[in-house]
């Protein structure tokens, strides 16, 4: 697929990008090259390649779901300007 100057001008207009007339031809050539590269990638057979999230085959280390911190409710709410029953109290914003 090749891109011509009119297509580049239309894309620039739709994207609200100001492109001068002398820049249209180099941009058309560059966009055509990008599209040719994408077409070349589409020719690669990936049917036997499993999907992957990373190029490294590694397993994440798991840690135990153990509570290591807590029981500090009084210390945390001590800095609050206003507290009620161990919670932060904030003024009503909406009537």
For residues 24 and 3, is the Cβ–Cβ distance under 8 A? no
Count Cβ atoms below 10 Å from residue 3 Cβ, excluding itself.
19
- The three-state (H, E, C) secondary structure of the chain, written as one string: CCCCHHHHHHHHHHCCCCCCHHHHHHHHHHHHHHHHHHHHHHCCCCCCCCCCCCCCCCCCCCCCCCCCCCCCHHHHHCCCCCEECCEECCCCCCC
Give the whole-number percent of the chain exceeding pLDDT 90: 43
pLDDT at 23 over 90: yes
Structure tokens at 23: 């820049």
Give tens-digit pLDDT for 70-91: 788 888 888 888 888 888 888 8
What confidence score (pLDDT) does residue 67 get? 80
pLDDT at 26 over 90: yes
């Amino acid at each position: 697929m090749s891109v011509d100057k009119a297509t580049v001008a239309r894309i620039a207009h739709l994207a609200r990008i100001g492109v001068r007339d002398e820049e249209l031809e180099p941009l058309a050539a560059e966009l055509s090259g990008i599209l040719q590269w994408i077409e070349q990638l589409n020719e690669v057979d990936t049917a036997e390649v499993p999907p992957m999230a990373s190029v490294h085959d590694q397993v994440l280390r798991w840690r135990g779901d153990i509570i290591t911190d807590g029981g500090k409710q009084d210390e945390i709410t001590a800095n609050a300007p206003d507290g009620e029953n161990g919670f932060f109290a904030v003024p009503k914003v909406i009537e």
